[in-house]
Amino acid sequence: MTLPLFVAAAAALLVTFVVIVHLFGPGHEDAPERALVPPLEGEVTLRTTYKYESGRLQAHPVRVYTQYYYPNQTVPKGVVICLHGIYAHSGGLTPLFDDLLQRGYVVGALDFRGFGRTSGRFGYIEKFSHNVDDTLAFLETTRAKFPGQKVFVVGISMGGLILLHTLLRARQGLIDGSVLHAPPVLLADGVRPAAIVEAVFRVLVKVFPKLPAIPTHGSSRANSKEVEEAVETSKQADALFYKGCLRLGTGLNMLEATLDIQTQLHKIEGPFCLIHGDSDRVCAYEGSQR
């Protein structure tokens, strides 16, 4: 290769590298466009049926979206905080909200960083502990807002993993009871990448943490083709449901949080209910059996 060609090739590689770092490198993004996405039909219905309020949990530099729904009865039975799963957002949990509201509970929820109406690159977890920090802050806010009420927390999939880590750090009396739905305590066979691939990812994540490079896995096998199709249709219709490949930073943060909780489960205290289907293809059922 002649010198001019070598220089041109080197320049092209440098430009490519700079562009990729700019697109997928570290750093916070405000992402205000997601906050402007219209509510889902289920959200609209719920907001016309029950008293509703939304707000922001100030967690500099991130604007964390929060919301509460109030039952129609004067004195609620308690407060239930719902933690959404990966790819999802709190607005997709309205069937659960509706059931709890009909039973007389106040319902609260937040969107985790990078998901739903909270700022951050869509689908990107910069640091798993940030989600725990935000959950603890929201719980403290909820306690102050509803003095004397019992506060329960429901964590779904990733939300269950966040809840487990939250229980490790929560002060006594902050959470009265928990429901863990399919928490990723143990990954199913074939979910964790091969050792050599994981090693490459661990190098790349230092420079390109937002790179969407990890293929996603279907989380479960439905009881019928119709159910699978209905779930897939709802996901595709939801602009705030993340549909891309798993970002490197997100995948490795989830992996580390899963491995870490395996060594600390014995430290978790307080009453909880654990729910897990045995057809889960990502969060191994055997992990919950332990």
Could you tell me which of 159, 95, 99 has the C-alpha nearest to residue 131? Answer: 159
Asked if the model's pLDDT at residue 60 lies above 80, the reply is no
**pLDDT over 90 for what percent of the chain?**
72
Strand 78-83 versus strand 62-70 pairing type: unpaired
Strand partners, 55: 66
Range 154-177 average pLDDT: 98
The predicted pLDDT at position 3 comes to: 63
pLDDT at residue 17 in the model: 62
Distance of CA 35 to the CA centre of its chain: 16
Task: Work out the average pLDDT over 29-51.
Answer: 96
Q: What is the pLDDT of residue 52?
A: 98
Give the DSSP H or E segment for 151.
strand 151-156
Answer yes or no: is pLDDT of 23 > 90. no
Residue 197 has which token pair?
Answer: 């691939």
pLDDT at 55 over 80: yes
Determine the pLDDT at residue 163: 99
Name the nearest CA neighbour of 79 among 159, 135, 153, 132: 153
What is this structure's pTM?
Answer: 0.92
User: Which pLDDT belongs to residue 287?
Assistant: 75
Task: Identify whether the C-beta of residue 123 lies closer than 8 Å to the C-beta of residue 202.
Answer: no
What percentage of the chain exceeds 70 in pLDDT?
89
Q: Quote the CA–CA distance of 37 and 57 in Å, as a whole number.
A: 19
pLDDT of 251 > 80? The answer is yes
* Cross-strand bridge partners of residue 64: 57
Q: What residues contact residue 284 under an 8 Å CB cut-off, 6+ apart?
A: 184, 185, 186, 187, 188, 189
CB atoms within 10 A of CB 175: 23
pLDDT value at 11 more than 80:
no
What does the pLDDT average to over 163-180?
98
Residue 188, CA atoms < 13 Å, CB-side half-sphere: 17
At 180-198, the pLDDT tens digits run 999 999 888 888 989 999 9
pLDDT of residue 82: 99
Q: Which residue has the tokens 């491995």?
A: 259
Q: What is the mean pLDDT of the chain?
A: 91
Sheet harboring 151-156: ordered strands across? 51-59, 62-70, 105-110, 78-83, 151-156, 177-181, 272-275
Using pLDDT thresholds of 50, 70 and 90, give the confidence band for residue 222.
Answer: low
Which residues neighbour 217 within 8 Å (Cβ) at sequence distance 6 or greater? 188, 190, 191, 281, 282
Q: Contacts from 219-223 at CB under 8 Å and sequence distance 24+?
A: 219/157, 219/182, 219/280, 219/281, 219/282, 219/283, 220/277, 220/279, 220/280, 220/281, 221/279, 221/281
**CATH, range 28-289:** 3.40.50.1820
Return the minimum-mean-pLDDT range out of 33-37, 59-63, 69-73, 180-184.
Answer: 59-63
b/e sequence 52-69, b meaning 16+ C-beta within 10 Å? beeeebebeebbbbbbbb
pLDDT band at 280 (very low <50, low <70, confident <90, very high): confident
